[in-house]
Amino acid sequence: MNSDRPKSYKRATAIKMHIDQINSGNYVKSDTNSYLETTFGVQVSRVHILGTIVGRWVSSTNDDSKPDRTPQASIIVDDSTETIRVRVWKDDVKLFEDLQIGDIVNIVGRVREYETEKYISPEIVKKIENPNWELIHELEIIEFLSRLKSDTNLQKISTEAQQITSTDSEPMKIDQNQKSIFKDKIVDLINELDKGSGVNINQLKEDAKIPENEFQNAIMELINEGAIYQPSPGKYRKL
């Protein structure tokens, strides 16, 4: 093994989950690789949830007795299975500025635990106007769990960053680099072509010039990562 070889990292995939599946998991904390060990056998570090805000709190910035207090805020999200707190600090407080109790939100973030409470540290928070997305989210969770059950050769999936250092893993590194290039190209095209209602999948395929299988895989990974979504069937927008 060449210890001087540059290390390659794969971004963890955001797994669509119910909140009760997060709360029932076992949080494993370490200095390099914290994750949630779920009851269905998957190690998860990034999650994708959708639910309704049932609680909201923002720290006061007008307390002269505590001028050095770190700005923080939290919301409580309910997806009808259970509730979970979503917490932010410092500049990320702005993620919650336009949110109110009763709003439906789409959230991608990392699972964390404080004392015995699991919570989410968000990367993406998006208000959802169309409640039909709750049904779509539910169907995607069902599909994901169904795929897990049907895979007889399932190996434990780790969605935390993976270091690739050995010479034998070079083909994998090249493959992951190619996937990243494809995904970046698709996101760039959506940014360029989207006029407000999304980009048609056929136009994306034509302009991306990516092989069909790789194109579909890249689209699915971008959706799972919370990078893009479908505002309507057959169209994609950046989240």
CA distances from 180 to 30, 31, 183, 186 (A): 27, 26, 5, 10
End-to-end CA distance of the chain: 40
Backbone angles phi, psi at 185, to 5 degrees: -65, -40
pTM higher than 0.75 for the full model? no
Domains of the chain and CATH, by start: 8-150 (2.40.50.140), 164-238 (1.10.10.10)
Amino acid at 88: V
Each of the 239 residues of the chain gets a pLDDT tens digit; together they read 444 444 434 567 888 999 999 999 999 988 878 899 998 888 898 999 999 999 999 887 655 555 567 889 999 999 989 999 999 998 899 989 899 999 999 999 999 999 889 999 999 999 988 877 888 888 888 888 877 776 534 444 444 444 444 444 444 444 667 778 888 889 999 999 998 888 888 888 889 888 877 887 788 778 777 788 877 767 888 87
> Which residues, 6+ apart, have CB-to-CB distance to 134 below 8 Å?
50, 51, 79, 104, 128
Q: What pLDDT is recorded for position 65?
A: 54
- Token pair listed for 207: 């302009």
145 class by beta-carbon count within 10 Å (0-12 exposed, 13-18 middle, 19+ buried): middle
